[in-house]
């Protein structure tokens, strides 16, 4: 079933009509970088890191209680979207024995949100790992097929999880990744609309969606500018807009470098890392893969590298 249809069935907001009809002022590139608004500091510290230990101990009652409390904190606003994501990063370390334990967990608590979310995230990541980071034209078809197999499992788990809690924001965030890999703009727009309705202040889903609008994923820089402009109209914070702009510059820099224009590439890498410095924390590591890598390789950029 299409994500857009599923979101309607389970009552999550779906506003597909916002997608291709965006009107954009020329100022879309944006003027957002002049604010002196305080930084938001993002870190990758895992919250509640004992969850994996509970899984491996087979203590499904305690595990279910803990994950419900975490989701509850998020749903009342006492846990941020980034903290929620970081909480579940510990489950990227699971193995086949852990997957078997998760099946036991599902049998013990059939309506467990986390017991479906966790394997969904795991198989999504496994799909991207087997695909690799080369362009689609340089990736063996065998790898693409294997990615799709893993992502089919991930979609099944994540779509099931949408029905099991009031605000399945993290499920939507990870489904955005899968929609990007499938080139499904309809699903992507449905998911970002649902995520923004659920948590208007979020940066995670917006950043992921912004990435999917880049030319390398079938979008364009004009679409990226339009999305920044729309986000500004929706009242996204200055720090949130800075993140979106940095993601666009990061991609533009890599595009120029691929064309052999190192001067333009360095200019846009420079802009991207300067904005990332204003965001702070692990934003550059999480969201600016090209400037983060090029800084490590010694490309001529600012002191922030």
Query: For 197-251, what is each residue's pLDDT tens digit?
Result: 999 999 999 999 999 999 988 899 999 999 999 999 999 999 999 999 999 999 9
As given in the structure block, the two tokens for residue 289 are: 């893969």
Per the listing, tokens 């890392």 go with 273
Whole-number percent of the chain with pLDDT over 90: 67
Per the listing, tokens 């893969």 go with 289
Residue 275 has pLDDT above 90, yes or no: yes
3-state secondary structure of 244: helix
Spatial neighbors of 150 by CB under 8 A, at least 6 apart, are: 123, 124, 126, 127, 130
Using CA atoms, how far residue 296 sits from 177, 250, 292, in Å, is 26, 14, 7
User: pLDDT category, 31, cuts 50, 70, 90?
Assistant: very low
Are 191 and 158 contacting, i.e. CB atoms less than 8 angstroms apart? no
Q: What does pTM read for this prediction?
A: 0.82
Please give the DSSP secondary-structure letter assigned to residue 237: -
d(CA 194, CA 199): 9
Q: What is the mean pLDDT of the chain?
A: 85
Q: What integer pLDDT is reported at residue 89 of this predicted model?
A: 92
As given in the structure block, the two tokens for residue 153 are: 């499992």
Q: Describe the crossing of helices 141-161 and 169-182 by its angle, rounded to 10 degrees.
A: 150
pLDDT digits (tens, 9 = 90+) for 128-176: 999 877 767 778 899 999 999 999 999 999 999 999 999 999 999 999 9
Closest CA to 252 of 211, 284, 281, 196: 211
As given in the structure block, the two tokens for residue 127 are: 């799909």
User: pLDDT category, 299, cuts 50, 70, 90?
Assistant: low
Are 7 and 189 contacting, i.e. CB atoms less than 8 angstroms apart? no
Closest CA to 167 of 81, 43, 63, 60: 81
SS3 content of the chain, % helix, strand, coil (to 5): 70, 0, 30
Using CA atoms, how far residue 177 sits from 61, 70, 207, 260, in Å, is 31, 23, 11, 29
């Amino acid at each position: 079933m299409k994500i857009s249809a599923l979101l309607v069935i389970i009552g999550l907001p779906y506003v597909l009509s916002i997608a291709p009809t965006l009107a954009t002022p020329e100022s879309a590139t944006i003027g957002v970088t002049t604010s002196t608004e305080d930084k938001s500091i993002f870190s990758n510290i895992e919250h509640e890191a004992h969850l994996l230990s509970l899984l491996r101990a087979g203590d499904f009652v305690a595990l279910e209680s803990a994950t419900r409390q975490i989701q509850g904190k998020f749903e009342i606003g006492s846990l941020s979207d980034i903290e929620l994501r970081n909480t579940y990063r510990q489950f990227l370390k699971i193995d086949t024995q852990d997957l078997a334990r998760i099946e036991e967990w599902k049998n013990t608590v059939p309506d467990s949100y986390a017991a479906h979310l966790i394997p969904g995230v795991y198989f999504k990541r496994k799909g991207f790992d087997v695909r690799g980071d080369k362009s689609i034209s340089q990736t063996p078809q065998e790898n693409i097929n294997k990615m799709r197999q893993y992502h089919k499992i991930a979609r099944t788990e994540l779509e099931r999880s949408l029905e099991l809690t009031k605000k399945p924001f993290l499920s939507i965030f990870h489904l955005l990744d899968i929609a990007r890999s499938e080139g499904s703009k309809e699903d992507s727009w449905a998911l970002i609309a649902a995520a923004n309705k659920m948590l208007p202040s979020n940066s995670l889903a917006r950043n992921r969606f912004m990435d999917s609008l880049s030319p390398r994923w079938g979008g364009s820089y004009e679409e990226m500018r339009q999305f920044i402009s729309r986000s500004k109209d929706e009242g996204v914070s200055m720090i949130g807009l800075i993140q979106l702009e940095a993601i666009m510059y990061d991609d533009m820099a890599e595009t120029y470098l691929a064309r052999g224009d190192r001067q333009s590439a360095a200019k846009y890498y420079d802009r991207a890392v300067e904005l990332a410095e204003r965001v702070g924390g692990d934003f550059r590591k999480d969201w600016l893969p090209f400037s983060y890598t090029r800084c490590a390789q010694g490309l001529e950029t600012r002191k922030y590298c």
